[in-house]
């Protein structure tokens, strides 16, 4: 999904408690109780995806720089009902099929050149597929200066990733997930600055819908699981960005506009699986990721935050 390699990543596995980030952690505050207002949303209630105002459908087989096995096709993106709940959702389908030079197909959409923002609370209610061995669903963000600012210089915020090799090796595929940030000017022998925090949830995350929330302000980036059900839950990811003017501090990569991305990758470096025969999650030929809604809230009291506008310039 992102142009990243399995280097320089710090992983912490806990039993549902957040492992403190080693990059200037901030003190937890009641961010969820801030004076937020809804400024943008997509509930996927129309008959088709809103590609005019909200979404860009990615079509390519580049493998995301991660040796992923899928070709992203428009046909793998749909809007319809999740069969158990009946909720109208964005549906991303991964399939085991030969297409062009790939052995699988899937879908990826983003708000690039449609909507970008700086700061706020972003939440998405998602029902993940059974990742088993080989699927890599994600809800994440890239700096809107991409691709002019070559990755990772643009900055990247991963709100949810699931399906990692570490989860597979510990037989925790349905509970092991992570948040992450990536940044930097250049690679140094394949290594770039990044911070990843992996967590083992106290309950499975591939059985039903769950809420994934990013709270991003001038001081910190924090991520929460099921904040609607557990309003006092600690963040599973926390990173300080309160050092924008300090030379070399990662903060300077996270104080500009970002856009949103949903995708369902097949295989690749993150999963440790690079052969379609080893993708056990596609033994029934296909798997689906459902997104009930995605919403962006921003604070009424912060003038800078209220400068949110849809992106109009072309990268």
Tell me if 253 is assigned to some domain.
Answer: yes
Please give the mean pLDDT across all residues of the chain.
Answer: 86
Predicted confidence (pLDDT) per residue in 244-263, tens digit = 888 778 999 999 999 999 99
Residue 4 lies in a domain: no
pTM value surpassing 0.75: yes
What is the residue range of 289's domain?
Answer: 31-307
207 part of a folded domain: yes
Pinpoint the alpha helices (H) of 149-273.
165-169
**Where in the sequence numbering do the catalytic residues fall?**
156, 161
| Domain-located, residue 168 | yes
30-35 contacts at long range (C-beta below 8 A, 24 or more positions apart): 31/121, 31/215, 31/217, 31/222, 32/121, 32/213, 32/215, 32/224, 32/227, 32/231, 34/121, 34/299, 35/299, 35/300, 35/301
Rounded to 5 degrees, φ, ψ at 82 are: -75, 130
Give bridge partners of residue 263 from the DSSP assignment: 108, 138
Q: pLDDT value at position 32?
A: 60
Count the domains in the chain: 1
Q: How confident is the model at residue 39 (pLDDT cuts 50, 70, 90)?
A: very high
CA pair distance 216, 170, nearest whole angstrom: 31
Is residue 1 domain-resident? no
**CB burial class (10 A; 0-12, 13-18, 19+) of residue 154?**
buried
CATH number for the domain including 235? Answer: 2.60.120.200
Higher pLDDT, 117 or 31: 117
In eight-state DSSP terms, residue 101 is T
250 part of a folded domain:
yes
Q: How confident is the model at residue 31 (pLDDT cuts 50, 70, 90)?
A: low
Say if 143 falls within a structural domain. yes
Q: Is residue 255 part of a domain?
A: yes
* CA neighbor of 174 nearest in space, from 129, 215, 111, 238: 129
Least confident among 8-17, 149-158, 173-182, 289-298: 8-17
Radius of gyration of the chain, Cα coordinates, nearest whole angstrom: 18
Smallest Cα–Cα separation from 67: which of 262, 276, 259? 276
């Amino acid at each position: 999904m992102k142009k990243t390699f399995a280097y320089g990543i710090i992983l912490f596995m806990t039993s549902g408690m957040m492992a403190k980030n080693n990059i200037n952690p901030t003190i937890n505050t009641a961010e969820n109780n801030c004076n937020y207002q809804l400024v943008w949303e997509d509930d996927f209630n129309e008959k088709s995806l809103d590609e005019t105002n909200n979404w860009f459908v990615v079509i390519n087989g580049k493998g995301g720089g991660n040796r992923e096995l899928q070709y992203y096709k428009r046909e793998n993106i749909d809007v319809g009902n999740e069969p158990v709940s009946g909720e109208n959702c964005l549906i991303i389908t991964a399939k085991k099929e030969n297409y062009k030079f790939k052995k699988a197909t899937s879908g990826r959409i983003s708000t690039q050149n449609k909507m970008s923002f700086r700061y706020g609370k972003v939440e998405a209610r998602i029902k993940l597929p059974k990742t088993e061995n080989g699927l890599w669903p994600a809800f994440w963000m890239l700096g809107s200066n991409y691709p002019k600012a070559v990755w990772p210089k643009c900055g990247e915020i991963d709100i949810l990733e699931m399906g990692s090799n570490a989860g597979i090796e510990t037989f925790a595929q349905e509970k092991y997930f992570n948040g992450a940030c990536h940044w930097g000017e250049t690679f140094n022998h394949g290594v770039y600055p990044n911070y990843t925090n992996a967590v083992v949830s106290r309950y499975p995350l591939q059985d039903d819908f769950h809420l994934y929330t990013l709270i991003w302000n001038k001081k910190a980036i924090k991520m929460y699981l099921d904040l609607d059900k557990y309003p006092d839950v600690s963040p599973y990811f926390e990173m300080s960005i309160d050092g924008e003017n300090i030379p070399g501090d990662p903060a300077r990569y996270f104080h500009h506009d970002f856009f949103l991305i949903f995708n369902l990758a097949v295989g690749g470096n993150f999963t440790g699986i690079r052969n379609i025969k080893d993708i056990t999650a596609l033994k029934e030929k296909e798997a689906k990721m459902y997104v009930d809604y995605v919403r962006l809230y921003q604070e009424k009291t912060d003038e800078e935050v209220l400068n949110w506008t849809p992106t109009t310039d072309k990268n």
